[in-house]
């Protein structure tokens, strides 16, 4: 039995992973911004612990880390899932800068701050795991969500450096890079026929997590066309196809 923290776990991929891992007998700690949703999740899953937390707030991140050290000293796995994705207009009639700033604070600074705060606790464990959540858009950006794509590219880069620096310690570092999945991350995404069915995604991820060893990059087959685009000389083509065929509401 492992004690696992999943941030942003009141819906979508975070909730799906929390439910599956909890069903396997692991102790789950979940966080989210909205207390009502946390209450619903923990009520439906007895034994699951929920903490209200806004990962974009440095003070709340520090408070969460202190509480975890006090109440859950056996924490050994952290899945940094919390994130936001919003479309942005650049150039004429541009979107307010606050949208980009909120995205950077949540998707990039949040995971970095929380990892830094939890590092002493994780290093004290005989074995620990950090799982970042990037995106297929880390490898081929979606122009309609420029800051989201940029933060996920940054998380991919940061994860590589984190993995390298933690070689020889008890902490293994992994990166989950989902394709578009049928969730509510963006308006209409849950019903988008081009997005991967939710249960199929969670099934495939859980199967990858049973491998020994778990790979550094946790990639379902459907995301490989984005992940391999650069290496296979298809980046320009994939970028053009992705961005000509996909539009988000302005």
Q: Tokens 């394709």 identify what position? A: 179
* Distance (Å, whole) CA 79 – CA 34: 19
Note whether 102 and 56 are within 8 A (CB). Answer: yes
Residue 8: count of CB within 10 angstroms of its CB: 24
Beta strand residue intervals within 34-94, DSSP E: 49-52, 75-80
Note whether 156 and 177 are within 8 A (CB). Answer: yes
Catalytic, out of 56, 148, 174, 175: 148
Q: Where do the H-state alpha helices sit in 105-196?
A: 110-123, 146-165
Active site residue 51: no
Task: Provide the annotated active-site residues.
Answer: 148
């Amino acid at each position: 039995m492992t004690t696992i923290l999943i941030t942003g776990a009141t819906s979508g991929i975070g909730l799906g992973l929390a439910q599956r891992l909890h069903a396997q007998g692991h102790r789950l700690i979940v966080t989210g911004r909205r207390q009502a949703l946390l209450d619903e999740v923990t009520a439906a899953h007895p034994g699951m612990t929920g903490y209200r937390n806004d990962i974009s707030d440095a003070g709340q991140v520090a408070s969460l880390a202190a509480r975890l050290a006090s109440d859950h000293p056996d924490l050994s796995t952290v899945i940094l899932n919390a994130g936001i994705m919003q479309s942005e207009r650049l150039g004429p009639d541009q979107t307010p800068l606050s949208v980009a700033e909120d995205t950077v604070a949540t998707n990039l600074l949040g995971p970095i701050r929380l990892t830094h705060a939890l590092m002493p606790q994780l290093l004290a464990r005989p074995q620990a795991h950090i799982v970042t959540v990037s995106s297929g858009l880390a490898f081929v950006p979606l122009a309609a969500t420029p800051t989201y794509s940029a933060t996920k590219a940054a998380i991919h880069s940061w994860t590589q450096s984190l993995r390298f620096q933690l070689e020889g310690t008890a902490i293994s570092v992994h990166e989950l890079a989902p394709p578009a999945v049928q969730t509510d991350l963006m308006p209409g995404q849950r019903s988008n026929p081009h997005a991967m069915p939710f249960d199929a995604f969670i099934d495939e991820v859980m199967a990858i997590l049973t491998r020994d060893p778990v790979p550094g990059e946790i990639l379902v087959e459907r995301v490989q066309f984005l992940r391999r685009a650069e290496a296979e000389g298809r980046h320009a083509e994939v970028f053009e196809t992705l961005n000509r065929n996909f539009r988000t509401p302005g």
